[in-house]
């Protein structure tokens, strides 16, 4: 049995930030990570076939975010602007800077008049009954599912209103060398403080009483501390009992487990494709679009894999595909090869090339099916109509002994981001000090 001041379950951004903050304060900390690596939903590919530091998970710093940028400054890790032109492809036509949804002002007018929360689906069905709004409703569902990766049948309309009113059009950044550098900085600092991070150490059982917690991992090893922080993804809490990652509590914590079930956790598939040329910048594409796509950052479509982005402003022959929400959940068990075929066909339809032509120019591919990933089971949190009530309970320590951390615990403008995870980890650690 190993004794420590604080046990942290999970070595993603939230868990490592909590451990880093506690380590700096001189606390003895033990981090238990189920996987064979740190980082959680941050995973930078170390594959020479790919564009340098391709990101399978988190990729962007969405705006001037204080905790993330502060940590990058402390670690002396540079970052650079990400961005480019926004394009839409629909019915054979490329349109630059097109609004995603035509009747957006009307949608926001109805949302702004809403007093009582309801799901996005219920809101659309109640406020847009005329058949002429069918396209609008479909576009809104697709946008919400794609961006927030959630299920419109569960998403909070009031939360989406707040998000859409405050959308940050500000600077987007990428980290020089990838997000893994931030993770490595935290890991190094934790270890240099004399603390331990154990990999391949899935916690299967917690036995606790006020002021004492025992974490038992799969091989029977026991770790004991007076405090324990759970920094695992919401998807793991919501997984069935037979799933990898399920934690059994003695005594049970039913109110908290129910609160976790009532929150929203999205589904995502991310596709990385490396070609031997940037064909979306060539003359064939320019003739097709009747203008140059050389500065294209994002491309939105209605294809099977609908959203694509480049490494703009860098001109790299890598393009990233993104499928979020119920469609990604439906594809959770699809073989990677089948998802790759759908991805190539989506690009073929958009850029008027054959899928075989694209395959012939493909150097490398990687399918990140996060929804099927054990110990993750999805993308990031979204608000349901029950989230606020759940957070009220989950923010209270259980018996002054057990604490929850993670991006799903964050309340603020950077929901569903690394910033949310880092902020939550830092806040919980400071609560313990």
pLDDT attached to residue 100: 62
Q: Specify the range with the lowest mean pLDDT, choosing from 165-179, 227-241, 304-318, 336-350.
A: 165-179
pTM for the model stands at 0.97
User: What's the whole-number mean pLDDT along residues 130-158?
Assistant: 95
pLDDT attached to residue 40: 99
Residues 190, 201: Cα–Cα separation, whole Å: 17
Residues 164, 36: Cα–Cα separation, whole Å: 38
Residues 331, 310: Cα–Cα separation, whole Å: 23
| pLDDT, tens only, 94-131 | 999 866 677 889 999 999 999 999 999 999 999 999 99
pLDDT of 313 > 70? The answer is yes
pLDDT of 49 > 80? The answer is no
Largest Cα–Cα distance in the chain?
69
pLDDT attached to residue 52: 72
User: What's the whole-number mean pLDDT along residues 194-210?
Assistant: 98
Report residue 249 as tokens. Answer: 């509590």
| pLDDT, tens only, 375-406 | 999 999 999 999 999 999 999 999 999 999 99
Count of Cβ atoms closer than 10 Å to residue 388 Cβ: 15
Instruction: Give the model's confidence band at 53: pLDDT under 50 very low, under 70 low, under 90 confident, else very high.
Output: confident
Nearest partner of 409 among 433, 388, 429, judged by Cα: 388
pLDDT of 168 > 70? The answer is no
Any idea where the domains of the chain sit in the sequence? 2-40+66-72+176-264+385-432, 102-165
pLDDT attached to residue 210: 97
Report residue 88 as tokens. Answer: 């839409």
pLDDT attached to residue 59: 97
Q: In sequence order, what are the residues at sequence separation of 6 or more whose Cβ sits closer than 8 angstroms to the Cβ of residue 377?
A: 233, 235, 236, 238, 239, 243, 245, 265, 370, 371
Residues 224, 213: Cα–Cα separation, whole Å: 6
Instruction: Give the model's confidence band at 253: pLDDT under 50 very low, under 70 low, under 90 confident, else very high.
Output: very high
**Fold classification of 2-40+66-72+176-264+385-432 (topology level):** FAD/NAD(P)-binding domain (3.50.50)
> SS3 string of the chain?
CEEEEEEEECCEHHHHHHHHHHHHCCCCEEEECCCCCCECCCCECCCCCCCCCCECCCCCEECCCHHHHHHHHHHCCCEEEECCEEEEEECCEEEECCCCCCCHHHHHHHHHCCCCCCEHHHHHHHHCCCHHHHHHHHHHHHHHHHHHCCCCCCEEHHHHHHHHHCCCCCCEEEECCCCHHHHHHHHHHHHHCCCEEECCCCEEEEEEECCEEEEEECCCCEEEEEEEEECCCHHHHHCCCCCCCCCEEECCCHHHHHHHHCCEECCEEEEEEEECCCHHHCHHHHHHHCCCCCCEEEEECCCCCCEEECCCCCCCCEEEEEEECHHHHHCCCCCHHHHHHHHHHHHHHHHCCCHHHHHHHEEEEEEECHHHCCCCCCCCEECECCHHHHHHHHCCCECCCEEECCHHHCCCCCCCCHHHHHHHHHHHHHHHC
pLDDT attached to residue 379: 98
pLDDT attached to residue 184: 98
pLDDT attached to residue 158: 97
Q: Specify the range with the lowest mean pLDDT, choosing from 49-53, 132-136, 206-210, 235-239.
A: 49-53
pLDDT of 169 > 70? The answer is no
Report residue 13 as tokens. Answer: 């951004």
What's the chain's average pLDDT? Answer: 96
Query: Any bridge partners for residue 229, and if so which?
Result: 8, 403
High-pLDDT (> 90) share of the chain, %: 92
pLDDT attached to residue 103: 83
High-pLDDT (> 70) share of the chain, %: 97
pLDDT attached to residue 249: 98
pLDDT attached to residue 9: 99
């Amino acid at each position: 049995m190993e004794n420590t001041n604080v046990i942290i379950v999970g070595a993603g951004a939230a868990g490592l930030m909590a451990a880093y903050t506690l380590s700096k304060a001189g606390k003895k900390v033990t981090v238990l990570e189920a996987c064979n690596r740190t980082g959680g939903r941050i995973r930078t590919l170390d594959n020479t076939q790919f564009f340098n530091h391709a990101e399978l998970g988190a990729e962007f710093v969405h705006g001037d975010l204080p905790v993330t940028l502060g940590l990058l400054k402390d670690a002396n890790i540079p970052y650079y602007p990400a961005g480019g032109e926004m394009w839409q492809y629909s019915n054979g036509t490329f349109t630059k800077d097109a609004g995603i949804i035509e009747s957006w002002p009307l949608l926001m007018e109805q949302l702004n008049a809403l007093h009582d929360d309801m799901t996005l689906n219920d809101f659309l069905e109640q406020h847009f009954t005329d058949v002429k709004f069918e396209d609008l409703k479909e576009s809104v569902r697709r946008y919400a599912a794609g961006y927030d990766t959630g299920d419109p049948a569960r998403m909070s309309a009031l939360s989406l209103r707040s998000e859409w009113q405050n959308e940050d059009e500000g600077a987007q950044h990428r980290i020089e060398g990838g997000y893994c550098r931030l993770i490595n900085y935290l890991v190094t600092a934790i270890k240099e403080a004399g603390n331990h991070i154990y990999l391949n150490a899935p916690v299967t059982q917690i036995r606790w009483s006020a002021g004492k917690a025992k974490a038992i991992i799969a091989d029977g090893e026991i770790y004991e501390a007076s405090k324990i922080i759970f920094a695992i993804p919401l998807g793991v809490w919501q997984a069935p009992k037979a799933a990898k990652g399920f934690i059994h509590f003695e005594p049970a914590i039913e109110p908290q487990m129910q609160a976790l079930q009532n929150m929203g956790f999205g589904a995502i598939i991310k596709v990385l494709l490396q070609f031997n040329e940037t064909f979306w910048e060539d003359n064939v594409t320019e003739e097709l679009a009747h203008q140059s796509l050389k500065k294209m950052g994002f491309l939105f479509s209605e294809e099977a894999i609908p959203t694509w982005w480049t490494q703009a402003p860098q001109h790299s022959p890598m393009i990233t595909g993104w499928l979020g929400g119920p469609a990604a959940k439906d594809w959770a068990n699809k073989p990677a090869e089948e998802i790759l075929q759908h991805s190539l066909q989506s690009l073929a339809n958009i850029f008027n090339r054959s899928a075989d032509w694209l395959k012939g120019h493909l150097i490398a591919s990687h399918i990140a099916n996060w929804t099927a990933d054990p110990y993750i089971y999805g993308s990031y949190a979204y608000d349901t109509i029950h989230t606020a009530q759940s957070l009220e309970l989950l923010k209270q320590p259980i018996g002054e002994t057990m604490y929850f951390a993670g991006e799903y615990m964050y309340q603020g403008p950077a929901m569903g981001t690394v910033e949310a995870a880092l902020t939550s980890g830092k806040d919980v650690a400071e609560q313990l000090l």
